[in-house]
Amino acid sequence: MKKLGILLSGRGSNFLAIHRAIAEGRLDAEIAIVLSNKPDAPGLEAARALGLKALAIPQQGKGTEARAAHDALMLAELWAHNVDLVCLAGYMRIISPAFVAAFPNRIVNIHPSLLPAFPGLDAQHQAFDHGVKVTGCTVHFVDEAVDHGVIILQRAVPVHDEDTAEALAARILEQEHIVYPEAIARVLSGDYAIQDRRYLRRSS
Ligand code: GAR
């Protein structure tokens, strides 16, 4: 059984969607560890309530050295739990090149926009404020640049005239919860090839 390591910083609804997909047999994997840089992240509490191992590793600062030291502690936990795939689920901290190199093409992230549009923070608000008519969410491999790696799966979400940014964000989140477990299942199947920036499925 493939082991997932989940990294989160907040409420953890994507983590819970992954957990639900496993419980419902849509995703053949187990969650080996949930890690957070935020000790008070509601997602950590939710993980513990589900009987999962959940640990906070508080961040010590944002400088290169502090980041490397924090990532080394995170990596030690992921290795100790024999994690096959690292899933960033609202993990709002940039990870270091050493972290990326430790899990080559084995770190995935979900981002609430159709990348490469609107990388960075508050992507749903960025899209809303820009006035786009279609936005969505993207699951991608993590590389050394922010919200940049090879795209695995995207789902489009329409923007309605009567929308608020909050209503739009909620509509995107619904799709995130569907698309993230599906993308993780695809990656774990190993049935894909990467050509340049293109993720290509070998079978459907
Ligand atoms: C989600 O919308 C996720 O796409 C976003 O944070 C939210 C976390 O919610 N991630 C990013 O913006 C990463 N750049 P959750 O804690 O309920 O899963």
Asked whether 183 lines ligand 1 (CB < 6 A), one says no
Angle at 172 between CA 166 and CA 174, to 5 degrees: 105
* Nearest-atom index, ligand 1, CA of 89: 18
- Determine whether the shortest distance from the Cβ of 46 to ligand 1 is under 6 A: no
Instruction: Choose, from 111, 130, 140, 148, the residue flagged as catalytic.
Output: 111
**What SS3 state is found at 148?**
coil
Residue ranges and CATH numbers for the domains of the chain are: 1-104 (3.40.50.170), 109-204 (3.40.50.170)
Nearest CA owner, ligand 1 atom 9: 90
13 lines ligand 1 (CB under 6 A): yes
List the chain pLDDT tens, one digit each, 204 residues. Answer: 999 999 999 999 999 999 999 999 999 999 999 999 999 999 999 999 999 999 999 988 888 899 999 999 999 999 999 999 999 999 999 999 999 999 999 999 999 999 999 999 999 999 999 999 999 999 999 999 999 999 999 999 999 999 999 999 999 999 999 999 999 999 999 999 999 999 999 975
pLDDT at 60: 81
Indicate the top mutation candidate among 40, 111, 152 to test ligand 1's pocket, ranked by most ligand atoms within 8 A of CB. Answer: 111
State yes or no: is 130 an active-site residue. Answer: no
Average model confidence (pLDDT) for the chain? 97
Nearest CA to ligand 1 atom 17: 13
Strand segments, DSSP code E, in the chain are 3-8, 30-36, 54-56, 85-88, 107-111, 134-141, 151-158, 192-195, 198-201
Q: Is the CB of 89 under 6 A from ligand 1?
A: yes
Residue 165 in 3-state DSSP?
A: helix
Residue 3 near ligand 1, beta carbon < 6 Å: no
Q: What pLDDT does residue 119 have? A: 98
| Token pair belonging to 3 | 């082991």
